Chains A and B, each alone.
Chain A
Amino acid sequence: EDKVVQSPLSLVVHEGDTVTLNCSYEVTNFRSLLWYKQEKKAPTFLFMLTSSGIEKKSGRLSSILDKKELFSILNITATQTGDSAIYLCAVANTGTASKLTFGTGTRLQVTL
């Protein structure tokens, strides 16, 4: 059974801080790892990673995958209160349908 573990479970930081969120996984026939941000209801897509060592970047957010050590990190620099959300990591295998296994998420709170 595929498994995704995220840490920390929750985090409180001050605006302007840099945070690193962790995601480790065990999956049979790995295909990709995805990061989502869930603020209220709808998870919104952040990154999809398929290759080791290649950093994906979008503004203050960046992510990288290590397929040898089976983990990914999501970095957020110069955090803002709008970054407060639950960050979900998910993995997809090479099965016959697009089936994502999600981690429990990291709840990030950014305070003034």
Chain B
Amino acid sequence: DTEVTQTPKHLVMGMTNKKSLKCEQHMGHRAMYWYKQKAKKPPELMFVYSYEKLSINESVPSRFSPECPNSSLLNLHLHALQPEDSALYLCASSREGNRGRIRDEKLFFGSGTQLSVL
């Protein structure tokens, strides 16, 4: 199974809503990522988790809150978003070993959640 599964595929929310994006992989990967991709732009890194610990936060606003409950799951909690946060949110995973000292930069991406904030 070489798949990264993201739910929901589409999400429309108001600026006062609270919602969560979910990501799951069963490849045994210990690094998981959230990327944001605006239309006609490249993916931009938001967060990296390594062995269920947050290792990179690319100065993302606190209205985005990541969570890694276990090695297979990654969530992104959304609260009080702005219309400019509308984008495709991509989850990815990669192998890591030796508690993060062995890295594999080959990322496997999910199909994303297309988010619209009204």
Contacts and interface: CB of A to CB of B under 8 A. Distances in A.
Interface of A: 31-32, 34, 36, 40-45, 48, 88, 92, 96-100, 102-105
Interface in B25-62: 31, 33, 41-45, 48, 50, 55-56
A34 B42 CA distance: 14
Interface stretch (B12-20, B66-74, B75-83, B106-114): B106-114
Interface of B is mostly: strand
Given A96-B100, A98-B48, A99-B56, 14 more contacts: A32-B105, A34-B105, A41-B90, A45-B106, A45-B107, A88-B43, A92-B105, A98-B33, A98-B94, A100-B107, A102-B42, A102-B44, A104-B41, A105-B42
B106 A42 contact: no
A84 to B, nearest CB: 15
Nearest to A102: B42
Contacts of A44: 109
The range of chain B's interface size is 20 to 34
Nearest to A6: B42
10 contacts: A34-B107, A42-B109, A44-B109, A45-B106, A97-B48, A97-B56, A98-B31, A98-B104, A99-B56, A100-B105
Given A32-B105, A41-B112, A42-B90, A97 B42 contact: no
B103 interface: yes
Contact of B42 (A41, A99, A103): A103
Given A97-B31, A99-B48, A41 B111 contact: yes
